[in-house]
Amino acid sequence: MFCRQIRIIRPGKGENTELELHEKAVKRENENGSVLRLQLAPIIFLTAIFLLNFISRIELSPLVPIIEKDMGLGHGEMGSFFFYITIGYFISLVGSGFVSSRISHRMTIVMSSIAVGFTLLGVCLTETAWGFGLCMFVLGLVTGIYLPSGIATITDLVNPRQWGKALAIHEVAPNLAFVIAPLVAEALMAWFSWRCVMGSLGVASLVVGISYACLGRGGDFRGEIPNLSSVRSVIGKPSFFIMIFFFGLAISSTVGIYSMLPLYLVSDHGIMRTEANTIVALSRVSTLFIVFLGGWAADRFGASRTIHVVFLITGTLTMLLGIAPTAWIKLIVILQPVFAVCFFPAGFAMLSSTVSPQSRNLAVSLAIPIAFMIGAGIVPTFIGLMGDAGSFTIAFILVGALILSGGIMLRFINLR
């Protein structure tokens, strides 16, 4: 007969204790997706803050006609207010690291939300054009410091394998803002003035900011101050500049194209202005849901493959905007942003993977302003100039070809 020898192993040096086994089990459970469910509440909280942050910057658009009449302003003066917001937003994005490095990402988020609230309440009290312009500049400043800290907080809360889905939830905010901002304006102006519209958003931002300070989780660490050495460590990576190029393409395919579509549909396809604006607005509704597909794809197939497919489809559809006949143009307009918006969850996940965890907020604060100037500034200006020359078709074809080129650059990205 053979007897089995039973050997009792006592925890010794290098051997797993019960606590270590439990920690490994928790780690495996986290990697299988439980972390996202556990952190869903703070992610939704941050998404609500981002939603009010974004609406506060675009709510001016549906209010322009009534503000012009009430304050006796011209079209040029009203257009300059959007420029003031952009300048303030650019400055605060670049310098957001100075804030988060002193007071932590959590307090930066709280400060941004509360400051937005007080700024919008200040808009209610202003009576002069210069005072209104100052409020718009300050609004850009206080909204810009949120995004780097928001992204850094989410990527710290959630396992890297869940970043795509977590960031997809966060990206619902800007897409939802484009849909509901005019609805909020029209609903409130049925009973109140435009000042009450801005004031109501201010009160909502104050409530959300104070609530996050009391109940919110995450972000209890400081960002990296953008000193010379930390900036050099980020911009010293070729992958960082490729990511700026990618975000520039993505913003071009969303904000840049969106800005010029109504003019293009009216001037080149003879569509009535009201119908053109309705089509463009409806094209954004589907992005509220499709953005989750982008987040799922980033987690399932990887950020690189997802971005490659997004650039391929979006670039092709953008080119079709220029060459499609009028009978097909409405369908192309509706389809084009559906795939374009899928870039952002994968894009933020890839950007976060190209730098160290401490530098993620710095990478966002450096990359997004430049990309925004490219996609939302240079590209629509180029399309407009080409339109003046009677070449809208060539403009959309060139922009679409540029977006297609993003797939080629993916092979040069170096992930951590």
Calculate helix-pair angle for 60-71, 172-189, nearest 10 degrees: 30
At 334-366, the pLDDT tens digits run: 999 888 888 988 888 888 888 777 777 678 778
DSSP state letters, 131-142: HHHHHHHHHHHH
pLDDT at 115: 93
Q: Which residues contact 231 (CB under 8 A, 6 or more apart)?
A: 362, 366
pLDDT at 28: 45
Calculate helix-pair angle for 40-58, 163-170, nearest 10 degrees: 40
CB contact burial 192-205 (16+ within 10 A = b; e otherwise): eebbebbbbbbebb
Q: Are 94 and 217 in contact (CB under 8 A)?
A: no
How many helices (H) and strands (E) would you count in the chain?
22, 0
pLDDT block averages, 10 residues each, the chain of length 416: 44 48 47 57 88 85 73 67 79 80 87 93 86 89 88 82 78 81 78 86 92 82 72 80 92 80 81 75 80 83 90 95 90 89 87 78 79 79 79 91 89 69
Question: Tokens 């909020």 sit at which residue?
Answer: 184
Q: Are 362 and 236 in contact (CB under 8 A)?
A: no
C-alpha 212/C-alpha 103 separation (Å) is 15
Q: Are 202 and 117 in contact (CB under 8 A)?
A: yes
- Residue 357 carries which DSSP code? G
- Residue 59 carries which DSSP code? T
Spell out the domains of the chain, with CATH numbers in brackets: 37-223 (1.20.1250.20), 226-416 (1.20.1250.20)
C-alpha 59/C-alpha 128 separation (Å) is 19
Residue 22 CB neighbour total at 10 angstroms: 11
Q: Are 178 and 286 in contact (CB under 8 A)?
A: no
Helices marked H in 284-342 — which ranges?
287-301, 303-323, 326-340
- Element (DSSP H or E) covering residue 155: helix 146-157
C-alpha 376/C-alpha 259 separation (Å) is 8
